[in-house]
Structure 1
Amino acid sequence: MKNLYIIIFAMLFIACANEKTNETDVTTTEVDHDHITITKAQFESENMAFGTVSKFDFNQSIKVNGMIDVPPQNKSTISPFIGGYITQTPLLVGSEVKKGQLLVTLQNPEYVEIQQNYLEVAEQLSYLKSEFERQKTLYDEQITSQKNYLKAESDYKSNLARFNGLRKKLQMLNISPARVEGGTISSSVNLYAPIDGFVTKVNVSNGSYVSSSDIILEIVDTHHIHLELSVFEKDIMNIKKGQKILFKIPEASEETFEADVHLIGTTIDAASRRVQVHGHVNNEEGQFIVGMFVEAEIITESSKQMGLPQEAIVGLEDGTYALALENDENDVFHLEKVKLEVGKQTEDAVEILNADDFKNKQILIKGIGMLLNESEGGHSH
């Protein structure tokens, strides 16, 4: 029995030794404090990559929020001058319209009354004008009294004022005074598009009554899209006309778009302590919708400096490091841990102040975190 125990113990010892040997065989990385060795197989399987210290844009910026908008002259709300019942509304939200295009037709007996009043006043005007001129001649010849002359003048001028007022009202209703004078009276009026653009709101349907205070349609001309941004009071002194704006529409796209600061507001909102900044969008083609929320940064200072990608560096307790290639032999990369002096930072890159120390050196720009963090217990920068 004793021999049996010895045999079992020996077998377990050999198995453990083999397992330990196997673990050593699969280890492809040898680590010390300043040098790391990896195989090309590990380099490729972990999708590592080499690069060099190169120039990056380092921008100082102010982060702001805002929305897509258009200038006031590019937005129009359509309301009737005098209320009426909708008889025709051929447009839907999204419809494109041209300036002068028919938008909506309304009917109201009041339109007829206005035209009738205009006709009556027009006919009276001819008589009153003749009477005024006759009384003026008689008065000049001292045949009639001043009283008769002044009454004729008053009647004529008051009627002329009423005539001009009704004529203007017809024009505002898009009714031709000449057609009315020719005997053509219409019970309906048409509203036309004052600008080119797209219908963004339709608030009515056929048969509904709208008053002069109701908005029937809204039209927006999207050819001059711009940004309306809100900048905190503490940042506004750093904003200058012409500065570059980078912005995203987080709810719709991951793409970054460009704009320029065009106008800076001169008043501060008392509640929010913010100032409005107006930006011109460089690419206005189609993808923007008025009212979209935007996240933007206004570039207040920009420079190109030597740097490395963020993923090429690791911050350890005693400094910031990268891994430089010492040599490459027998399918093995020998890497050296090098200390960096860092300056400005962006989301993508870090300025390297001692970049001259790494001229023509290959730097591991992908995979360093796995190697240095495992060996040093550090944390990613």
Structure 2
Amino acid sequence: MKNTNNKIFNAMYFKGFLLIAILALASCNTKEKTEAANTAETETTEDTDIITITENQFSAGNMEVGKMTTQPFNTIVKASGMFAVPPENQADVSAYFAGYVKNISLLPGDAVKKGQTLFTIENPEYVQAQQDFLEAKGRLNYLKSDYERQKELIADNVTSKKNFLKAESEYTVTLAQYQSLKKKLSLMNINANTLTGENIRSVISVPSPLTGYATTINATKGVYLNPSDVAITVTNTDDLHIELKIFEKDLPMVKMGQPINVRLQNDMNKVYQGKVHLVNKAINTQDRTVDIHGDLVNEAEAKLFAPGMYIEGEILTTTSEHLALPVEAVANIDNDYFALVKENGTTFKRVLVKVGATNNGFIQILNSDDFKPETEFLTKGAFNLITE
């Protein structure tokens, strides 16, 4: 009986020991797996900024490696404005005399030449002006002859002074009427030298005062125009220039001859070159701005634009030199900027850089002191690798 109990005790002791061993082994395995996982996680975290590129990838992507270089950067004064023309290149055309529009065939954008008829107007009163001129012209010939005869007679004491003064007065008054009516006919675009009783007309033409384009048309056939009504606006775009507004605080930095980068509001990627031509000496007291006038460097580009087009301008004032990288070597990720530094071979490390101004395809690196002068960066093809 005692032997039986010993056997049972030994069996139970062995099973307990085996269970403890199994639990201990499982615990060790779990600890090893946990440590291994933690180690793997640490290694993964450490390797996230390391990028390895094969030689085939480097060659196929046309990638390039280079160092930071010293580049010129400008202090920029931002401005907004529009394209415009000088005052003498734009004319609001109206008739000097009231009348009904007889004929008009222009459309906005039509090219016109100086002296070309823009429209015609009609009014019976025009007939009266021509009649008065012809009558004054007819009287003038007689009165001039009578005046000259009376002048000779008064010199010989043959006629009275009263007759001479009467002839002189009538001639002088009629001459003034003649000259006044002749000027009036000139404003009507009627040639007084060729006017006769047979070619009196009630319709006059209104010519263009300059060569350009009909940019605004307010008149239509049959409408009644007063002398103050603007019928057509003609604009000559040959001298198209830049008109910008800057804030008064920026005025001391802007000088004549400084370069201007011009961009259209609907195409900010395309840059047109200009230069400051004139700086206004007066400040607009309402919005505290100053007018800046500029010219396009390439005069042929003026044909691409029209007066009134809104533009954004950058006036390049002072210039200084800073270490920089090509713009495509830097990538923006959540408002942080990164570049790839060459470690060895084709292995690169992603590093944080602080950036400043951009100019001519380069971006200023503000923390350039954090890198050694011999540090090489992936200067071409880096953007896609950084943002992946």
**CA shift for structure 1 position 362:** 3.2
Q: Choose which of 188, 195, 200 in structure 2 pairs with 1:173.
A: 188
Q: What are the within-5 Å matches in structure 2 for residues 276-291 of structure 1?
A: 276-283=291-298, 284-291=301-308
State whether structure 2 residue 316 is matched by structure 1 residue 299: yes
User: Could you give the per-residue CA deviations for residues 151-183 of structure 1, whole angstroms, max 9, x where no partner exists?
Assistant: 211111111111001101111111010221474
Conserved in 2, the CA contact under 8 Å of 1:28 and 1:39?
no
In the aligned structure 2, how far is the partner of 1:123 from the partner of 1:77? 37
Q: Which residue of structure 2 aligns with residue 224 of structure 1? A: 239
Contact 1:49 1:367 in 2 (8 A): no
Matched to 2:316, the amino acid is I
Is contact 2:338–2:350 with CA below 8 Å preserved after alignment?
no
- Residue matched to 2:7: none
1:40 pairs with one of 53, 58, 70: 53
Gaps of 5+ in 1: 1-5, 372-381
Matched residue of 1:142: which SS?
coil
Alignment length (residue pairs) = 344
Q: Which amino acid aligns with 2:129?
A: I
Counterpart check, 1:146 vs 2:151: no
Task: Check conservation: 1:59, 1:299, Cα contact below 8 A.
Answer: yes
Q: Does 1:112 align with 2:147?
A: no
**Considering only CA atoms, is the larger Rg found in Structure 1 or Structure 2?**
2
Q: Which residue of structure 1 aligns with residue 347 of structure 2? A: 333
Q: CA deviation at 1:56?
A: 3.7
Partner of 2:325: 308
Pairing partner for 1:93 from 108, 124, 127: 108
Aligned to 1:301, the other structure's residue is in SS state strand
Superposed CA RMSD:
3.7
The answer as to whether partners of 1:63 and 1:296 remain within 8 angstroms in 2 is yes
Tell me if the contact between 2:340 and 2:348 (Cα under 8 Å) persists in the aligned partners: no
1:306 CA displacement? 3.1
1:58 Cα offset (Å): 1.0
Give the 5 Å matches for 1:227-246.
Answer: 227-246=242-261
Q: Could you tell me the TM-score, scaled by structure 1's length? A: 0.79
1:228-264 CA distances to partner (integer Å, 9 max, x unpaired)?
1112211112111111111211135641211111011
Distance 1:256 1:157 in 2: 66
1:105 shift after superposition: 1.0
CA distance in 2, matches of 1:345, 1:206: 58
Alpha-carbon distance between aligned partners in 2 of 1:28 and 1:254, rounded to the nearest angstrom: 43
2:118 is the counterpart of 1:67: no
Residues 85 and 239, structure 2, Cα contact 8 Å, conserved in 1: yes
Paired residue for 1:377? none
Higher mean alpha-carbon deviation, 143-152 vs 58-67, is at 143-152
1:100-154 Cα shifts (integer Å, max 9, x gaps): 2221111111111110000000001011111111111111111222222112111
> Which deviates the most, 194-203 or 180-189?
180-189
- For 1:350, the equivalent position in structure 2 comes to 364
Q: 2:347 corresponds to which letter in structure 1?
A: F
Q: Quick one: distance in 2 between partners of 1:334 and 1:269?
A: 55
Matched-pair contact (CA < 8 Å) for 1:325–1:336: no
Residue 75 (structure 1) shift: 0.7
Give the secondary-structure state (helix, strand or coil) at the position aligned to 1:286: helix
* Distance in 1 separating the partners of 2:43 and 2:119: 77
Structure 1 contact 90–104 (Cα < 8 Å) conserved: yes
Q: 1:355 to 1:176 in 2, by over 3 A?
A: farther
1:379 maps to which residue? none
Query: Residue deviations 1:268-317, cap 9 Å, x none?
Result: 1121222211111234343212111111111112345430246645899x
Contact 2:339–2:377 at 8 Å: present in 1 too? no
Distance in 2, matches of 1:240 and 1:83, equals: 49
TM-score normalised according to structure 2 size: 0.77
Structure 2: segments with no counterpart, 5+ residues: 1-21
Provide the identity percentage.
34
Task: For 2:191 and 2:284, locate their aligned partners in 1 and report how far apart those are by CA, in whole Å.
Answer: 47
Partners of 2:243 and 2:152 in 1: CA distance: 66
- Give the corresponding residue for 1:215: 230
8 Å CA contact 1:82, 1:212 repeated in 2:
yes
Which amino acid is the alignment partner of residue 142 of structure 2?
Y
Cα drift, residue 323 of structure 1: 3.6
